[in-house]
Protein backbone atom coordinates (compact mmCIF):
# COMPACT_ATOMS: atom_id res chain seq x y z
CA UNK A 1 0.00 0.00 0.00
CA UNK A 2 0.99 3.58 -0.59
CA UNK A 3 1.51 6.00 2.29
CA UNK A 4 0.38 9.32 0.78
CA UNK A 5 2.57 12.34 1.52
CA UNK A 6 -0.30 14.61 2.49
CA UNK A 7 1.99 17.56 3.21
CA UNK A 8 2.07 17.98 -0.59
CA UNK A 9 -1.55 19.16 -0.36
CA UNK A 10 -2.62 22.66 0.72
CA UNK A 11 -4.92 22.87 3.75
CA UNK A 12 -8.25 22.79 1.83
CA UNK A 13 -7.19 19.70 -0.11
CA UNK A 14 -5.97 17.99 3.08
CA UNK A 15 -9.29 18.77 4.73
CA UNK A 16 -11.16 17.17 1.85
CA UNK A 17 -8.85 14.17 1.63
CA UNK A 18 -10.59 11.69 3.98
CA UNK A 19 -13.95 12.42 2.34
CA UNK A 20 -12.59 11.35 -1.06
CA UNK A 21 -12.94 7.74 0.13
CA UNK A 22 -16.54 7.97 -1.13
CA UNK A 23 -15.40 8.22 -4.75
CA UNK A 24 -16.07 4.96 -6.65
CA UNK A 25 -13.07 2.64 -6.61
CA UNK A 26 -12.98 2.18 -10.36
CA UNK A 27 -11.38 5.64 -10.45
CA UNK A 28 -7.62 6.02 -10.04
CA UNK A 29 -5.87 9.28 -9.22
CA UNK A 30 -3.56 10.47 -11.99
CA UNK A 31 -1.78 13.73 -12.74
CA UNK A 32 0.50 15.96 -10.72
CA UNK A 33 -1.28 15.41 -7.42
CA UNK A 34 -0.83 11.64 -7.70
CA UNK A 35 2.89 12.18 -8.29
CA UNK A 36 3.16 14.70 -5.45
CA UNK A 37 1.44 12.32 -3.03
CA UNK A 38 4.01 9.68 -3.96
CA UNK A 39 7.14 11.85 -4.00
CA UNK A 40 6.34 15.01 -2.03
CA UNK A 41 8.44 17.08 -4.43
CA UNK A 42 5.96 19.95 -4.81
CA UNK A 43 2.57 21.24 -3.75
CA UNK A 44 -0.32 20.22 -5.98
CA UNK A 45 -3.92 21.38 -5.81
CA UNK A 46 -6.15 19.57 -8.35
CA UNK A 47 -7.42 16.00 -8.28
CA UNK A 48 -7.62 14.19 -11.65
CA UNK A 49 -9.46 10.86 -11.65
CA UNK A 50 -9.35 8.41 -14.58
CA UNK A 51 -11.57 5.38 -15.16
CA UNK A 52 -12.17 2.89 -17.92
CA UNK A 53 -15.87 2.89 -16.97
CA UNK A 54 -17.92 5.24 -19.19
CA UNK A 55 -19.04 8.46 -17.52
CA UNK A 56 -22.51 8.81 -19.02
CA UNK A 57 -25.36 10.99 -17.73
CA UNK A 58 -26.52 8.40 -15.20
CA UNK A 59 -22.98 7.94 -13.90
CA UNK A 60 -22.55 11.71 -13.67
CA UNK A 61 -25.75 12.00 -11.66
CA UNK A 62 -24.60 9.30 -9.25
CA UNK A 63 -21.17 10.89 -8.96
CA UNK A 64 -22.62 14.35 -8.29
CA UNK A 65 -24.79 12.86 -5.54
CA UNK A 66 -21.62 11.54 -3.91
CA UNK A 67 -19.72 14.79 -4.35
CA UNK A 68 -22.54 16.85 -2.84
CA UNK A 69 -21.91 15.00 0.41
CA UNK A 70 -18.39 16.43 0.44
CA UNK A 71 -19.35 20.11 0.21
CA UNK A 72 -20.90 22.70 -2.05
CA UNK A 73 -20.49 21.58 -5.66
CA UNK A 74 -20.20 23.80 -8.73
CA UNK A 75 -19.97 22.16 -12.15
CA UNK A 76 -17.13 23.70 -14.17
CA UNK A 77 -17.17 21.38 -17.19
CA UNK A 78 -19.65 18.78 -18.38
CA UNK A 79 -18.74 17.05 -21.62
CA UNK A 80 -18.73 13.53 -23.01
CA UNK A 81 -17.03 11.24 -20.48
CA UNK A 82 -15.80 14.33 -18.60
CA UNK A 83 -17.00 16.07 -15.45
CA UNK A 84 -15.05 18.79 -13.66
CA UNK A 85 -16.35 20.31 -10.45
CA UNK A 86 -15.35 22.64 -7.67
CA UNK A 87 -16.07 21.36 -4.17
CA UNK A 88 -16.11 24.01 -1.45
CA UNK A 89 -15.90 23.51 2.28
CA UNK A 90 -15.40 26.60 4.45
CA UNK A 91 -15.34 28.71 1.26
CA UNK A 92 -12.16 27.01 0.04
CA UNK A 93 -12.81 25.52 -3.44
CA UNK A 94 -11.01 22.37 -4.57
CA UNK A 95 -11.06 21.28 -8.21
CA UNK A 96 -11.83 17.65 -9.05
CA UNK A 97 -11.89 16.29 -12.61
CA UNK A 98 -13.29 12.93 -13.65
CA UNK A 99 -12.54 11.28 -16.98
CA UNK A 100 -14.44 8.11 -17.90
CA UNK A 101 -14.27 5.66 -20.77
CA UNK A 102 -10.47 5.74 -20.82
CA UNK A 103 -9.57 2.82 -23.06
CA UNK A 104 -5.76 3.14 -23.03
CA UNK A 105 -5.26 0.69 -20.20
CA UNK A 106 -2.27 0.71 -17.88
CA UNK A 107 1.25 -0.72 -17.78
CA UNK A 108 1.68 -0.76 -14.00
CA UNK A 109 -0.29 -1.65 -10.89
CA UNK A 110 -2.18 1.11 -9.07
CA UNK A 111 -2.02 1.18 -5.29
CA UNK A 112 -4.55 1.86 -2.60
CA UNK A 113 -3.45 4.46 -0.08
CA UNK A 114 -2.68 3.08 3.36
CA UNK A 115 -5.60 5.06 4.81
CA UNK A 116 -7.89 3.40 2.25
CA UNK A 117 -8.99 6.74 0.77
CA UNK A 118 -7.99 6.50 -2.90
CA UNK A 119 -6.47 4.36 -5.60
CA UNK A 120 -3.34 6.01 -7.05
CA UNK A 121 -1.85 5.20 -10.45
CA UNK A 122 1.59 3.61 -10.65
CA UNK A 123 4.69 5.68 -11.31
CA UNK A 124 5.14 3.81 -14.60
CA UNK A 125 1.74 5.04 -15.78
CA UNK A 126 2.18 8.50 -14.29
CA UNK A 127 5.48 8.99 -16.12
CA UNK A 128 3.99 7.82 -19.41
CA UNK A 129 1.05 10.19 -19.09
CA UNK A 130 3.35 13.11 -18.22
CA UNK A 131 5.54 12.38 -21.24
CA UNK A 132 2.41 12.45 -23.38
CA UNK A 133 1.20 15.71 -21.81
CA UNK A 134 4.27 17.68 -22.91
CA UNK A 135 3.13 17.20 -26.50
CA UNK A 136 0.09 19.31 -25.70
CA UNK A 137 1.53 22.02 -23.48
CA UNK A 138 4.72 23.46 -22.05
CA UNK A 139 4.08 23.72 -18.32
CA UNK A 140 6.91 23.97 -15.85
CA UNK A 141 5.16 21.65 -13.42
CA UNK A 142 5.20 18.83 -15.99
CA UNK A 143 8.97 19.06 -16.42
CA UNK A 144 9.30 19.28 -12.64
CA UNK A 145 7.21 16.13 -12.20
CA UNK A 146 9.12 14.21 -14.88
CA UNK A 147 12.47 15.19 -13.36
CA UNK A 148 11.31 14.12 -9.90
CA UNK A 149 10.34 10.68 -11.18
CA UNK A 150 13.58 10.27 -13.12
CA UNK A 151 15.57 11.36 -10.05
CA UNK A 152 14.23 8.47 -7.98
CA UNK A 153 15.09 5.92 -10.64
CA UNK A 154 12.14 5.78 -13.02
CA UNK A 155 13.45 4.74 -16.42
CA UNK A 156 13.01 7.16 -19.31
CA UNK A 157 13.31 4.22 -21.72
CA UNK A 158 10.52 2.37 -19.95
CA UNK A 159 8.48 5.56 -19.90
CA UNK A 160 8.82 5.94 -23.67
CA UNK A 161 7.90 2.29 -24.17
CA UNK A 162 4.84 2.85 -21.98
CA UNK A 163 3.85 5.89 -24.05
CA UNK A 164 3.95 3.69 -27.16
CA UNK A 165 1.79 1.03 -25.52
CA UNK A 166 -0.74 3.48 -24.10
CA UNK A 167 -1.00 6.01 -26.91
CA UNK A 168 0.38 4.29 -30.02
CA UNK A 169 2.10 5.95 -32.99
CA UNK A 170 0.29 9.26 -32.43
CA UNK A 171 2.98 10.08 -29.84
CA UNK A 172 6.35 9.20 -31.45
CA UNK A 173 9.36 8.89 -29.17
CA UNK A 174 11.51 11.34 -31.13
CA UNK A 175 8.89 14.08 -30.79
CA UNK A 176 8.57 13.31 -27.09
CA UNK A 177 12.33 13.65 -26.61
CA UNK A 178 12.40 16.89 -28.58
CA UNK A 179 9.65 18.38 -26.43
CA UNK A 180 11.30 17.07 -23.28
CA UNK A 181 14.63 18.71 -24.08
CA UNK A 182 13.17 22.11 -25.06
CA UNK A 183 13.02 24.33 -21.99
CA UNK A 184 12.25 27.68 -23.62
CA UNK A 185 8.79 29.28 -23.61
CA UNK A 186 7.69 27.15 -20.67
CA UNK A 187 4.84 28.43 -18.52
CA UNK A 188 5.97 28.87 -14.90
CA UNK A 189 9.57 28.64 -16.06
CA UNK A 190 10.78 29.13 -12.49
CA UNK A 191 9.89 25.49 -11.87
CA UNK A 192 12.42 24.38 -14.48
CA UNK A 193 15.48 24.79 -12.30
CA UNK A 194 19.01 23.85 -13.29
CA UNK A 195 18.57 20.62 -11.34
CA UNK A 196 15.44 19.81 -13.32
CA UNK A 197 17.20 20.53 -16.61
CA UNK A 198 20.25 18.48 -15.62
CA UNK A 199 18.17 15.49 -14.51
CA UNK A 200 16.17 15.43 -17.74
CA UNK A 201 19.14 16.10 -20.01
CA UNK A 202 21.22 13.37 -18.34
CA UNK A 203 18.41 10.85 -18.76
CA UNK A 204 18.15 11.69 -22.46
CA UNK A 205 21.92 11.45 -22.96
CA UNK A 206 22.04 8.04 -21.27
CA UNK A 207 19.11 6.69 -23.28
CA UNK A 208 19.94 3.58 -25.28
CA UNK A 209 19.03 3.29 -28.93
CA UNK A 210 16.53 0.52 -28.21
CA UNK A 211 14.45 -0.41 -25.20
CA UNK A 212 12.17 -3.19 -24.04
CA UNK A 213 8.43 -3.04 -24.46
CA UNK A 214 6.06 -2.04 -21.67
CA UNK A 215 2.96 -4.16 -22.28
CA UNK A 216 -0.55 -3.27 -21.20
CA UNK A 217 -1.32 -5.32 -18.09
CA UNK A 218 -4.98 -4.35 -17.67
CA UNK A 219 -7.65 -2.08 -19.08
CA UNK A 220 -9.19 -1.56 -15.65
CA UNK A 221 -7.59 1.59 -14.24
CA UNK A 222 -8.84 1.41 -10.66
CA UNK A 223 -7.97 -0.89 -7.78
CA UNK A 224 -11.37 -2.52 -7.42
CA UNK A 225 -11.61 -4.69 -10.52
CA UNK A 226 -9.52 -6.92 -12.77
CA UNK A 227 -9.98 -7.69 -16.45
Other beta carbons within 10 angstroms of residue 185's beta carbon come to 7
Percent of the chain with pLDDT over 70: 98
- pLDDT for 47 equals 99
151 with 173, same domain?
Answer: yes
- pLDDT for 227 equals 41
Query: How much is the mean pLDDT over the chain?
Result: 95
Boundary-marking domain end, from 102, 122, 142: 122
77 with 131, same domain?
Answer: no
Boundary-marking domain end, from 99, 122, 145: 122
20 with 94, same domain?
Answer: yes
- pLDDT for 185 equals 87
Other beta carbons within 10 angstroms of residue 54's beta carbon come to 13
Q: Residue 174: which domain range?
A: 124-205
Consecutive sets of 10 residues in the chain, 227 residues long: mean pLDDT of each?
A: 97 97 97 99 98 98 97 98 96 96 98 98 99 90 98 97 95 93 92 97 94 96 69
- pLDDT for 224 equals 65
Amino acid sequence: MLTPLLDALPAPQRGLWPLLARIPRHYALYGGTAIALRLGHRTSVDFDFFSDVPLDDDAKGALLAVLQKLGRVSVLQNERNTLTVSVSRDDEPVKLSFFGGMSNGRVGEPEKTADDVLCVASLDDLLAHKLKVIHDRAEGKDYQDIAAMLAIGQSLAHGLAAVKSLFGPAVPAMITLKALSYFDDVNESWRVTEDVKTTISSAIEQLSAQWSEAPIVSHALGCARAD
